[in-house]
Chains A and B, each alone.
Chain A
Amino acid sequence: MARQKLPPTQTLTMKIDDVDVTAKPGQTIKDVARDHDIIIPGLCYLDGLSIWGGCRLCLVEVEGMNKLLASCSTEVAEGMVVHTDSPKLRAYRKVVIEMLFAERNHVCSVCVSNGGCELQDMAVELGVDHVHLPYMDPDVNLDSSNDRFRLDHNRCIMCTRCVRVCGEIEGAFTKGIGGRGIDVRIINDLNMPWGESQTCTSCGKCVHVCPTGALVEKGTAAAEMDKRRAFLPYLTIMREAQR
Chain B
Amino acid sequence: MSDKKKPVTIATVWLDGCSGCHMSFLDLDERLVEIAPLIEMVYSPVVDSKEIPKGTDVGIIEGAISNEDDRAKALKMRAACGFLISLGDCAVTGNVPSMRNVFDQKECFDRSYHENAQLQPMDPTVCVPPLLDKVLPVHQVVDVDLYVPGCPPPADAIYYVLSELLAGRQPDPLLLTRFGK
A residues at B contact (CB < 8 Å)? 101, 105-111, 114-115, 120, 123-124, 127, 129-132, 134-135, 137-139, 223
Contact = CB atoms under 8 A, between A and B. Distances in A.
Contacts of A129: 92, 147-149, 173-174
A135 B94 contact: yes
B93 A131 contact: yes
Contacts of A131: 93, 137
17 contacts: A106-B93, A107-B95, A107-B96, A108-B93, A108-B178, A109-B179, A115-B180, A123-B178, A127-B172, A127-B174, A129-B148, A129-B149, A129-B173, A130-B86, A131-B93, A137-B98, A137-B101
A156 to B, nearest CB: 15
Contact of A111 (B94, B98, B180): B180
Given A130-B147, A130-B149, A135-B98, A109 B89 contact: yes
B101 A120 contact: no
A127 B98 CA distance: 23
Given A129-B92, A130-B147, A139 B102 contact: yes
A176 to B, nearest CB: 25
Interface in B139-174: 139-140, 144, 147-149, 151, 172-174
A120 B139 contact: no
A127 B173 CA distance: 10
B101 A109 contact: no
Contacts, number: 66
A8 B144 CA distance: 57
Interface residues of B, number: 26
B92 A130 contact: yes
Given A124-B174, A127-B174, A132-B139, A138 B147 contact: no
Contacts of B47: none
Interface in B95-113: 95-96, 98-99, 101-102
A139 B107 CA distance: 13
Contacts of A123: 178-179
A134 B140 CA distance: 8
B130 to A, nearest CB: 19
Contacts of A108: 89, 93, 151, 178-180
A139 B99 CA distance: 10
By CB atoms of chain B within 10 A, which of A108, A120, A124, A138 has the most? A108
B100 to A, nearest CB: 9
B180 A120 contact: yes
Interface in B114-138: 134, 137
Contacts of B172: 127
Contact of B96 (A110, A114, A124): A110
Contacts of A132: 139
Given A109-B151, A139-B102, A130 B96 contact: no
